[in-house]
Chains A and B, each alone.
Chain A
Amino acid sequence: MLQQKLPELVCPAGSLPALKAAIDHGADTVYFGYKNDTNARNFAGLNFDQKAMVEGIQYAHARGRQVLMAINTFPQPGRETDWHRAVDGAADLGVDAVILADVGLLDYASKRHPSLRLHLSVQGSATSYEAVNFAHREFGIRRAVLPRVLTLAQVELVIKNTPIEIEVFGFGSLCVMNEGRCWLSSYATGESPNTVGACSPAKFVKWEKAPGQMNTRLNGILIDRHNDKEPAGYPTLCKGRFEVNGSTYYALEEPTSLNVLEMLPEIVKIGVSAIKVEGRQRSPAYVAQVTRTLRAALDELGRDIDHFKVKPAWQAELGKVAEGTQITLGAYNRPWR
C-alpha cells in the first residue's frame, strides 16, 4: 500500500466539452480561464464565458471534483482593474482556487478575498523554496506550480523546505522551460504570454505549402521547414530550426512533449501534491486521451508502487498526441544543477 496520498491529477479545459471530458475520464481537478488576456491561453474562440463557467463548476462539483481558474498573465499598465475583476469573478463563481503569477495581483487577491485559495502559477517562475516560501509568507499561497526547468532532485529539495503543496507538470507540450521569463515570442512578434496571454499568436503564423515541403513563418520570419513526412510542432521561436555555426538544427528546443510516466513512482515518493497536464488549447479528444492514461497509471501505482510498470499502451497513447510525436523526461532527469 502507498504511504502517502496519490497526487491530484490536474487537467486542462479550453471549453466546456473539454472540461466534461477531463472529469469523465478521471481528473481530480480541472483548470480553465476567461475568454480574455487575463490567462496565458488567450486564443481566438478558446476558453469560457460566464455561463459556461457556471455550468462547468456545477458539473465538477456535482461529481466531487475541483475547479481552478488561471489568471496567470501580468496586469498591463493602466488596465489593472481587468485583472482585479477576473479575481473578483473567480471568487464569486466559487472556484476552488485561483492560479496567479503576478505579485501585485497576489497581493490584491489575498487582501480582497482572504478566504480564496491561491496557487502560484508556473508563470510566477518560482524555482527555489525561498521564492515559494516568500509567496506563502506574503500572500498565503497554498500551492506552487514549479517551472519545468528543475531536476527531480531540485523538486525534492523545494518540497522538503516548504510547508505548502507543490504541483509539477506531468504531460504536455514543452517549451524552452523558462516559463514566466521568456521573451522569445515578443522578440519575433511584439506579443508574448506575459503581455497578451498567447505565445506566438496565430495572427502572426503562416504555413506555406510548396510541393514536398511546408514553410513555417512567424511574423514573416522563416522559423522551420518540413518535408511532407516530418513531424511538426507548434510554430514558436524556441522550436524553430536555426543555422548555428554552419549547421541547421533545433538550437533551442525540439518540438516535443514532456511525459513523466517513467518516473511517476519517484514523483509520488518525493511528495508531489499534484500533477498537471498542459493543453488548454487542445481539443476534448486530447483531454480525454491524456486524462484517462494518467488516471490509469496513477491508479496502478496506487495499488503497488514498488511493482509499477509503464504499460506500452499508455506510452503509445501519449506518444501519439505529443508535439512533434516525441516525448521527453525534460529537465527532471538532466544532470545539471
Chain B
Amino acid sequence: MFENRFKSLTIPRFTLPGFVATVGNKLPQWPHALALTAGLNAVVKMKLLAEDSLNLLEGRTFLIDVLDTGGRAAFTFRNSLFRPLFTAPETPDLAFRANLSAFLQLAARQEDPDTLFFNRELSIEGDTELGLIVKNMLDAMEWPSFPSMPAFRH
C-alpha cells in the first residue's frame, strides 16, 4: 500500500520563508497545473476514482493555491480528462488554499482535511458540496498493490 511505504516518513508542519512565495508568485504557474493534471489523469486511467463522483466534476473549474510557495494550479475536468487552465479563472468553482506542508500531509494521507480545516491550515472556498465530492472521492481511492500497477507489469 502507498501509505504503508511511507509509514516511517512523517511530514512535519512547516511554513516556507516569505521570500519563496514572493519569488514563486512571479514564476509562470502553468507547469504546476500541467504536472498536477498529468498525475490526476494517470489515476483516472487506472480507474482508481469513482466514476459517479468524477461525472459531477464535468466542466467545473478548480484552483489549488499553495500559499507559502506562491504556486497555483488551475484546471478543469472535461470529457474524462483533467485539463490545465492557462489563465486561472477569477472565481473558480472550488479553491483549496494551504501551505505546502498541509498539502503534502493530505497527499500522504497523514492528516484528515477536516482536521486541517478545524486548525485553520486549509481553506475551502466556492462550491462546498463540490469540495466534499472531491474530498470523498480521493478518500475512497484505493492504491493498488504495486505489482498490479502498470509500471510493474511486463
Contacts and interface: CB of A to CB of B under 8 A. Distances in A.
Nearest to B134: A45
B136 A46 contact: yes
B97 to A, nearest CB: 8
A324 B110 CA distance: 19
B140 A45 contact: yes
14 contacts: A44-B132, A44-B133, A45-B137, A46-B136, A207-B123, A209-B123, A228-B120, A232-B117, A232-B120, A281-B114, A283-B114, A284-B139, A321-B115, A322-B118
Interface of B: 50, 53, 56, 109-115, 117-120, 123-125, 128-129, 131-137, 139-142
A201 interface: yes
Contacts of B139: 14-15, 17-18, 283-284
For the complex of A and B, the 7 pairs showing the least CB-CB separation, nearest first, are A45-B136, A286-B112, A15-B140, A202-B129, A283-B112, A205-B128, A45-B133
A54 interface: no
A87 to B, nearest CB: 23
Contacts of B53: 44-45
A43 interface: yes
Interface residues of A, number: 40
Nearest to A209: B125
A281 to B, nearest CB: 7
Nearest to B111: A285
A255 interface: yes
Contacts of B125: 207-209
Contact of A325 (B118, B140, B142): B118
B140 A17 contact: yes
Contacts of B129: 44, 201-203, 205
Contacts of A209: 123, 125
A286 B109 CA distance: 9
A23 interface: no
Interface string A196-213: 000001110111110000
A43 B136 contact: yes
B114 A286 contact: yes
A320 B132 contact: no
A6 interface: no
Most A CB contacts (10 A, CB to CB) among B53, B112, B128, B142 go to B112
A231 B118 contact: yes
Contact of A214 (B111, B123, B131, B136): B123
A79 B86 CA distance: 47
